[in-house]
A = this chain, B = another copy of it.
């Protein structure tokens, strides 16, 4: 796993495409989150975004209690990298995965979500078991109501019932604050209703966990969550930048870039060496950082089209803000960590491709 640069290299000498982390902006984002939350909830950032124990350690140093993951393989990479407390904020189905999950629960504090009694019956190991509540994504999760109480009762027979996973992923990218407010308000009502039903049945609900970078202060203010799971706040991508950002949410800075070089020039276009295998386009094209006249208009697998002006020269390097940080990071093995134009560190993305 050859590193793509060396400590001390200048940013302009890093070979392209490369995934660049601006450490000043990154560290500021971590502090901004901490200051916005003011200790009102626990912070459990999502490692599905960064996939890197070096990032996790910096989040934990600023008060995060542990990590979230979506996959057992991500959790394995985090535990391997020294993270002692991981919640898999997702269902784990299939005999092989459940064996690995049980093995992992002997090495670290591990939580997992369920939304189905059949899946619960298959769980082994020393696990914190959460029920995923369906709060508006229409993806996984149990509908709010008595079904949650019945499942929680079953959990307590053989496991620890740790609480509720209540994440409204769709709300994160609603553009207006008003839409996001309304979505989280509804989610909060589902959570409160379910907590009341659990309390009535005499079942303690130690933790409600959820929320992402686009809404988390709304969850904090709604008062129904004990723990938040933001991921993208550390990096900020072009899609999140399209959201309206207003109080109570603070503003985060772009800290993650794809460095790319112009590899071909024509009068009307510059072609760069970062296409969709270098910057994921599932949530739209990347934007060109601090070159207001330029637009990344189209991607093919290994090429990107830059239009506008003044066009960059052959060999010139540009920084792109990825459309969507999570799948972009998942294309790389390393963060090239840069401070004021110089490579300060290389962090390995050990959970890259960890999809099982």
- A residues lining the B interface (CB < 8 Å): 4, 13, 15-18, 48, 70-71, 90-94, 96-97, 115-116, 118-119, 134, 138-141, 169, 261-266, 269, 271, 273-274, 276-278, 280-282, 299-303, 305, 314-315, 326-327, 330-333, 352-353, 355-356
Contacts and interface: CB of A to CB of B under 8 A. Distances in A.
| Identical copies in the complex | 2
Contacts of A138: 266, 269
Contacts of A269: 138
Given A70-B301, A281-B282, A93 B356 contact: no
Contact of A94 (B15, B274, B301): B15
Given A264-B115, A276-B282, A353-B333, A97 B327 contact: no
Nearest to A90: B302
A96 to B, nearest CB: 5
A48 B93 contact: no
Contact of A301 (B301, B315, B327): B327
B139 A261 contact: no
Nearest to A356: B15
A278 to B, nearest CB: 5
A237 to B, nearest CB: 12
Contact of A326 (B97, B140, B261, B301): B301
A282 to B, nearest CB: 5
Given A330-B331, A356-B17, A139 B303 contact: yes
21 contacts: A13-B96, A15-B356, A70-B301, A70-B302, A92-B263, A93-B273, A115-B264, A119-B314, A134-B266, A139-B300, A139-B303, A141-B264, A276-B327, A277-B330, A277-B355, A278-B355, A282-B299, A301-B326, A302-B355, A331-B353, A352-B353
A258 to B, nearest CB: 10
A278 B280 CA distance: 13
Nearest to A282: B276
Given A94-B16, A282-B282, A48 B303 contact: no
B140 A263 contact: yes
Nearest to A99: B15
Given A93-B263, A276-B280, 13 more contacts: A4-B356, A15-B96, A16-B94, A17-B355, A48-B302, A70-B301, A90-B302, A94-B261, A116-B265, A140-B264, A273-B355, A302-B355, A330-B331
Counting from the closest, the 6 A-B pairs by CB-CB distance are A140-B264, A93-B263, A70-B302, A15-B96, A91-B263, A15-B356
A140 to B, nearest CB: 4
Q: Choose among A94, A261, A274, A315 the residue with the greatest number of B CB atoms under 10 Å from its CB.
A: A94
Contacts of A265: 116
A214 B289 CA distance: 36
Contacts of A332: 353
Nearest to A134: B266
A333 B315 CA distance: 31
Contacts of A263: 90-93, 140
Nearest to A97: B15
A332 B354 CA distance: 9
A297 to B, nearest CB: 11
